Structure 1
Amino acid sequence: MEKGTFQDVNAQVVQRCREGDNRAQYELYKLYSKAMFNVSMRITNDYAESEDVLQEAFISAFKNLHSYKAEASFGSWLKRIVINASVNAVRKRRSELVPLEDRIAGDIPDEEYDDDTEWQVEQVRRAIQRLPDGYRVVLSLYLLEGFDHAEIGEVLGISESTSKSQYSRARKKLLEIMKDTHSMA
């Protein structure tokens, strides 16, 4: 595939969406839904909630497609919508005061791993899931989504220094969880 071809096809599909073509909307959904679900899952830490966020984000994107200016890729624009919707879902959950332990207890089956690296990655993933919401969100945005602390502050409505301190605390907590998990094994 030639360089720029994907962006050109994307631009054509986006234009067809703007013209009300439902097939084009489905094409964009197929192109981006898995990646956007994974972004949401890393932030919300809840499968069903991530599915809801994904649907909400696509509906919002299609309704607001007129505001997409193609200054960034469509995927980047959509990712920002997904991240904002995911953060809002976590905030809503916090306001409902549902204990985190109730959300993650027992939802991950124990599996045997042949590959030691795969096992280690799974251990880190599980440890990240055990982080408190605030820590997990900042850690995910910084490490996995590539946001800097100023961007995280903007998305979460916190200062850059608060983002840095949350990230630092998240790293320490993650190491504690990993150490505790390792000593239990």
Structure 2
Amino acid sequence: METLYIDKHQALVQECRLGSRKAQFELYKLYAKAMYNTAQRILCHVAEAEDVLQEAFLEAFSRITDFRGDTTFGLWLKQIVINKSINYLRKRKMEFVSTDTIDVPEEEEEENGELQPRVEEIKKAMELLPDGYRVVISLYLLEGYDHEEIAHILKISENTSRSQYMRAKIKLQRLMEKERSQ
């Protein structure tokens, strides 16, 4: 079954390389919702997420010959969406505060434990985070990137990624506690 899934996607990519609009539309239908959600988690802005989605697909289809197939089309497209989303944030003049000189104790990370409240509560609180915090925590927790990858994507140090993540996690917990107490 999985082979059919991969073969279908590979066939659509191949058809796109040959200029098939129908194949482009099929790939769009397969990936649009997931890619929109990725952009929305990073941007927290409906119109910008929609713009990123459209721009990402346009870029992917215009650069389809660059897709080598070492990953899935979905992962390749997701990277385009993430990069475009980050560029939109940069246009908003998002700043990552360098915290290379600030040590976040590892014990504190372990004491805080994992976040387990309801999904909607977390989503609502994440929208209130500053852009820098929200991007790092989204890339780490929701997109599955490690701090080395996040540092590379955002052009920050690994230490900054780690401390932004810890600060975001603490701020997220405080926002959710505040929301629960109201």
Q: Which TM-score tier does this pair reach, normalised by the shorter chain? A: 0.7 to 0.9
Q: Which runs of 4+ in 1 moved over 2 A?
A: none
Instruction: Show the 5 A alignment for 1:27-176.
Output: 27-94=26-93, 120-176=118-174
> Where does residue 97 of structure 2 map in the other structure?
none
C-alpha deviation, 1:5, in angstroms: 1.1
Supply the RMSD in Å over aligned alpha carbons: 1.1
Q: Distance in 2 between matches of 1:74 and 1:122?
A: 29
Deviations 1:119-151 (A, max 9, x none): 932111100100000000000000000000011
| Gapped regions of structure 1 (runs ≥ 5) | 96-118
C-alpha deviation, 1:94, in angstroms: 2.2
- Identity level (%): 52
Read off the aligned partner of 1:26 and give its amino acid letter. F
| Gapped regions of structure 2 (runs ≥ 5) | 95-116
Task: Provide the TM-score with structure 2 as the length reference.
Answer: 0.85
Deviations 1:37-77 (A, max 9, x none): 00000000011110000000000101111110100000000
Q: Distance in 1 between matches of 2:137 and 2:145?
A: 10
Q: Distance in 1 between matches of 2:59 and 2:155?
A: 21
